[in-house]
Amino acid sequence: MERLQKVIAEAGIASRRKAEDLITSGKVKVNGEIVTELGTKVSRKDRIEVNNKPIEKQQKEYYLLNKPRGVVTTTKDEHHRKTVVDLIPTNTRIYPVGRLDYDTTGALLLTNDGEFANILMHPNDKVEKVYMAKLNGIIKGEQINQLKDGVEIDGQTVQAARVKLKKVNDKNNTCMVQITIHEGKNHQVKKMFESVGFQVEKLKREKVAFFDLKDLQSGEYRKLTPKEVAKVYALEQK
């Protein structure tokens, strides 16, 4: 059983909030009866109509993609650039969970399950996002501590859960740093490093929650297993 507004949203009829408006305004029927109570539970067998038109329930799909550089994290691009959705052949209307910049590579989940996406995008300590960044300069312990203690970006203070200096190239004056965050704000990792004086030359997301890029080359994807999907839903219960 699932909430009526969730089923409407996942069918692509409207956003969750708009679906709630449709319900309270008497435009939704379940098995021929108008339903106006939010939170009403429905099953796969129930016939749901919005504005007297039956909705089609989509089979849920879940993918992990190793996003390559030069691909936009959206479902459609007005400049006709290749999108992450173009890399996964499916007739289902999937969308990315969160976003990676045009020039950022790595782990990206895609699905048509709104509840699944919301769990992973919620800023809490259950969902870690691990990045590897190449910086133009050699970061010092003082700056690492600043990132851990909290830096201000866009008027908000954000903290790194962990920061590890992984490799130093004195000749080129660059270093590789692994950083783990819990939020997912726009350009967050780049802005965090900028706040302590470094430009990010390359950025790769290595891990989201317990999903890593094992056996996935750039541009490759795989379907998630039912066990993995269940594990994500279990995060909500903790």
Per the structure block, which two tokens stand in for 168? 């130093």
Say if residues 42 and 9 touch (Cβ distance below 8 Å).
no
The yes-or-no verdict on residue 184 having pLDDT over 80 is: yes
- Of the listed 46, 101, 170, 215, which one is catalytic? 101
Dihedral class, residue 159 (left if φ above 0, else alpha if ψ from -120 to 50, else beta): beta
101 catalytic? Reply is yes
Smallest CA-to-CA distance from 133 within 99, 160, 113, 155 is with 160
Point out the least confidently predicted range of 9-18, 72-81, 123-132, 224-233: 9-18
Give the residue from 15, 4, 16 showing the smallest Cα distance to 44.
4
136-177 pLDDT per residue, tens: 999 999 999 999 999 999 999 999 999 999 999 999 999 999
pLDDT in tens, 17-74: 899 999 999 999 999 999 999 989 998 789 999 999 998 777 889 999 999 999 999 9
For the chain, the average pLDDT equals 93
Among 206, 232, 225, which Cα is nearest to 66's? 206
CB 143 within 8 A of CB 179: no
The one-letter amino acid code at 167 reads K
Using 50, 70 and 90 to split pLDDT, how confident is the model at 238?
low
DSSP 83: B
Gap between the Cα atoms of 106 and 94, Å rounded = 18
**C-beta separation of 8 from 14 below 8 A:** yes
Complete domains list, the chain, with CATH: 2-54 (3.10.290.10), 62-123+211-237 (3.30.70.580), 129-208 (3.30.70.1560)
By DSSP bridging, strand 105-111 and strand 200-208 are parallel
Q: Is 142 helix (H, G, I), strand (E, B) or coil?
A: helix
Dist CA 217 CA 234 (whole Å): 28
CA separation for the pair 108, 103 (Å, rounded): 13
d(CA 89, CA 134): 32
What pLDDT, on a 0 to 100 scale, did the predictor assign at position 237? 65
